[in-house]
């Protein structure tokens, strides 16, 4: 479901300010156990670019976002980086990658949209490719500040991903509170 929050300059600036002390460093440490350095990696929903900068230390990263505001921010802060406009559902790119990463992005998709995204991820990830995504943990969905948020539990994610990816790791972690988030790492079947 499309969300307008990330589309305006004001809300993008607000998000960058609110998220300034958060990053996916711990998730990326886990990803590095499964994906070799120098691998090509697509980041979906790079947003402020905090994780992109950490990923860029080890991988050949292509950053992406569906928000033009975030893309212009990403390009101006990282003039040597590669960034493309990409929707998480359609993933309409001719390129393929060794890995795909997102941190708190795919929860904006409804289940049906997430299934479409998973199928496209299968298409654009190379053989033995690795996916690594985080989600908010919980049940149901809500609209928060105009943003659609879809919560997931382990069993639901397993069911959605396991036709296309072997689940290598599926565990809860704390973003703000104990067990409020889930990390999934999978390998292309
Ligand atoms: C909660 S932010 C997370 C950003 C970044 N990964 C981080 O950890 O700070 C969600 C990001 O996903 C992007 N986004 C939301 N829906 C999207 C979609 N359908 N396709 C691609 N990006 C999307 C937003 O523009 C925003 O940059």
Q: Count CB neighbours of 30 within 10 A.
A: 17
Q: What local confidence, expressed as pLDDT, does residue 11 receive?
A: 86
Across 70-93, average pLDDT: 97
Q: For the chain, count helices (H), then strands (E).
A: 6, 9
Q: How far is the CA of 21 from the centre of ligand 1 (A)?
A: 17
Pairwise pLDDT comparison (71 vs 7), residue with the higher score: 71
Across 123-135, average pLDDT: 98
Across 69-92, average pLDDT: 97
Q: What local confidence, expressed as pLDDT, does residue 2 receive?
A: 64
Q: How far is the CA of 162 from the centre of ligand 1 (A)?
A: 24
Contact 183, 171 (CB under 8 A): yes
Q: What local confidence, expressed as pLDDT, does residue 1 receive?
A: 64
Decide whether any atom of ligand 1 lies within 6 Å of the 18 Cβ: no
Q: What local confidence, expressed as pLDDT, does residue 7 receive?
A: 83
Q: How far is the CA of 70 from the centre of ligand 1 (A)?
A: 9
Decide whether any atom of ligand 1 lies within 6 Å of the 108 Cβ: yes
Decide whether any atom of ligand 1 lies within 6 Å of the 87 Cβ: yes
What's the fold here for domain 5-188? Rossmann fold (3.40.50)
Cβ neighbors of 129 (< 8 A, separation 6 or more) are 96, 97, 98, 99, 100, 187, 188
Q: How far is the CA of 47 from the centre of ligand 1 (A)?
A: 5
pLDDT, averaged across the chain: 96
Decide whether any atom of ligand 1 lies within 6 Å of the 48 Cβ: yes
Q: Place 102 in a pLDDT band, splitting at 50, 70 and 90.
A: very high
Q: Place 8 in a pLDDT band, splitting at 50, 70 and 90.
A: confident
Decide whether any atom of ligand 1 lies within 6 Å of the 117 Cβ: no
Q: From residue 165, how far is each of 133, 169, 178 by CA, in Å?
A: 12, 11, 27
């Amino acid at each position: 479901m499309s969300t307008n929050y990330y589309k305006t300059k004001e809300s993008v600036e607000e998000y960058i300010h609110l998220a300034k002390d958060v990053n996916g460093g711990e998730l990326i440490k886990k990803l590095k156990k499964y994906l070799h350095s120098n691998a090509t990696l697509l980041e979906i929903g790079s947003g402020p670019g905090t994780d992109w900068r950490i990923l860029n230390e080890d991988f050949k990263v292509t950053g992406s976002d569906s928000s033009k505001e975030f893309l212009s921010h990403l390009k101006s802060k990282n003039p040597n980086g590669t960034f493309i406009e990409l929707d998480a559902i359609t993933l309409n790119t001719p390129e393929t990658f060794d890995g795909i990463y997102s941190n708190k992005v795919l929860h904006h998709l409804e289940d049906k949209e997430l299934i479409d995204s998973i199928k496209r991820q299968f298409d654009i990830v190379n053989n033995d490719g690795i996916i690594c995504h985080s989600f908010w943990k919980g049940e149901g969905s809500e609209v928060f500040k105009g943003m659609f948020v879809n919560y997931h539990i382990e069993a639901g994610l397993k069911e959605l991903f396991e036709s296309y990816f072997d689940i290598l790791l599926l565990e809860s972690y704390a973003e703000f509170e104990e067990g409020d988030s889930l990390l999934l790492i999978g390998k292309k079947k």
